[in-house]
Structure 1
Amino acid sequence: MIKAYAAQEAGATLQMFEYDPGPLDVQDVEIDLEHCGICHSDLSMLNNEWGITQFPFVPGHEIIGIISAVGTHVHHLQPGDRVGLGWHSGYCLTCSACMSGDHNLCDNAEATIVGRYGGFAEKVRANAASVVVLPENMDPQSAGPLFCGGITVFNPLLQFNIAPTASVAVIGIGGLGHIALQFLKAWGCHVTAFTSSDHKKTEALELGADEVLDTRKLSDLKNSANRFDLILSTVNVKLDWNLFIATLRPKGRLHFVGATLTPLDINIFPLISAQRSLSGSPVGSPASIKTMLAFAERHQIKPIVEAYRFDQVNEALARLASGKVKYRIVISNQ
Structure 2
Amino acid sequence: MPTFHALAAHEAGGELKPFEYDPGDLGPDEVEIAVKYCGLCHSDLSMLGNDWGISVYPYVPGHEVAGVVAAKGDRVTGLEVGQSVGLGWYSSSCMFCDQCMSGDHNLCGSAGMTIVGRHGGFADRVRASQEWVIPIPDSLDPSVVGPMFCGGATVFNPFLQSGVRPIDRIGVVGIGGLGHMALKIGNAWGCEVTAFSGSPDKEDEAREMGADHFVNSRDPQSLESVAGSFDLILDTVGAELPWEAYINALSPRGKLHIVGAAPSVSTPVMPLIMAQRTITATPVGSPQTLREMVRFATRHDIAPIVEPMKLSEANDAMERLRSGSPRYRIVLENDLG
Q: TM class, shorter-chain normalised?
A: over 0.9
Segments of 5+ residues of structure 1 without an aligned counterpart are none
Give yes or no for the alignment of 1:62 onto 2:64: yes
CA distance, structure 1, for counterparts of residue 180 and residue 165 of structure 2: 20
Q: How many residues align?
A: 333
CA distance, structure 2, for counterparts of residue 67 and residue 230 of structure 1: 38
- Provide, for residues 232-284 of structure 1, a one-character-per-residue CA deviation record: whole Å limited to 9, x for no partner: 001111111001111101100000000011x3221000000010000111000
Aligned to 1:12: 14
Q: CA deviation at 1:222?
A: 1.3
Aligned to 2:327: 326
Structure 2 residue identity aligned to 1:267: P
Give yes or no for the alignment of 1:286 onto 2:287: yes
CA distance, structure 2, for counterparts of residue 326 and residue 168 of structure 1: 23
Q: CA deviation at 1:90?
A: 0.3
Q: Secondary structure at the match of 2:200?
A: coil
CA distance, structure 1, for counterparts of residue 331 and residue 277 of structure 2: 38
Aligned to 1:277: 278
CA distance, structure 1, for counterparts of residue 85 and residue 176 of structure 2: 25
Q: CA deviation at 1:226?
A: 1.0
Q: Secondary structure at the match of 1:331?
A: strand
Structure 2 residue identity aligned to 1:314: N
Aligned to 2:269: 268
Give yes or no for the alignment of 1:304 onto 2:305: yes
CA distance, structure 2, for counterparts of residue 66 and residue 300 of structure 1: 22
CA distance, structure 2, for counterparts of residue 297 and residue 163 of structure 1: 20
Aligned to 1:115: 117
CA distance, structure 2, for counterparts of residue 216 and residue 23 of structure 1: 53
Q: After the TM superposition, which residues 194-205 of structure 1 pair with which residues of structure 2 at under 5 Å, given as runs?
A: 194-205=196-207
Q: CA deviation at 1:76?
A: 1.3
Moved more, 37-46 or 197-206: 197-206
- Provide, for residues 71-97 of structure 1, a one-character-per-residue CA deviation record: whole Å limited to 9, x for no partner: 001121110110000000000011111
What TM-score, normalized by structure 1, do the two folds share? Answer: 0.99
CA distance, structure 2, for counterparts of residue 296 and residue 265 of structure 1: 35
Q: Secondary structure at the match of 2:240?
A: coil
Structure 2 residue identity aligned to 1:326: R
Aligned to 1:218: 220
Q: After the TM superposition, which residues 3-42 of structure 1 pair with which residues of structure 2 at under 5 Å, given as runs?
A: 3-42=5-44
CA distance, structure 1, for counterparts of residue 77 and residue 250 of structure 2: 47
Q: After the TM superposition, which residues 128-147 of structure 1 pair with which residues of structure 2 at under 5 Å, given as runs?
A: 128-147=130-149
- Provide, for residues 198-220 of structure 1, a one-character-per-residue CA deviation record: whole Å limited to 9, x for no partner: 21111111100001001111221
Structure 2 residue identity aligned to 1:190: E
Aligned identity (percent) is 51
Aligned to 1:150: 152
Q: Secondary structure at the match of 1:4?
A: strand
Structure 2 residue identity aligned to 1:312: E
Q: After the TM superposition, which residues 175-254 of structure 1 pair with which residues of structure 2 at under 5 Å, given as runs?
A: 175-254=177-256
- Provide, for residues 103-142 of structure 1, a one-character-per-residue CA deviation record: whole Å limited to 9, x for no partner: 1111110000001000000000111111110022101011
CA distance, structure 1, for counterparts of residue 266 and residue 125 of structure 2: 44
| 4+ aligned runs moved over 3 Å, structure 1 | none
- Select which of 91, 94, 104 maps to 1:92: 94
Structure 1 residue identity aligned to 2:315: N
What TM-score, normalized by structure 2, do the two folds share? Answer: 0.98
CA distance, structure 2, for counterparts of residue 135 and residue 36 of structure 1: 17
CA distance, structure 1, for counterparts of residue 26 and residue 238 of structure 2: 38
Q: CA deviation at 1:296?
A: 0.5
CA distance, structure 2, for counterparts of residue 192 and residue 198 of structure 1: 13
Q: Secondary structure at the match of 1:22?
A: coil
Segments of 5+ residues of structure 2 without an aligned counterpart are none
Q: CA deviation at 1:60?
A: 0.2
CA distance, structure 2, for counterparts of residue 264 and residue 315 of structure 1: 33
Aligned to 2:315: 314
Q: CA deviation at 1:160?
A: 1.4
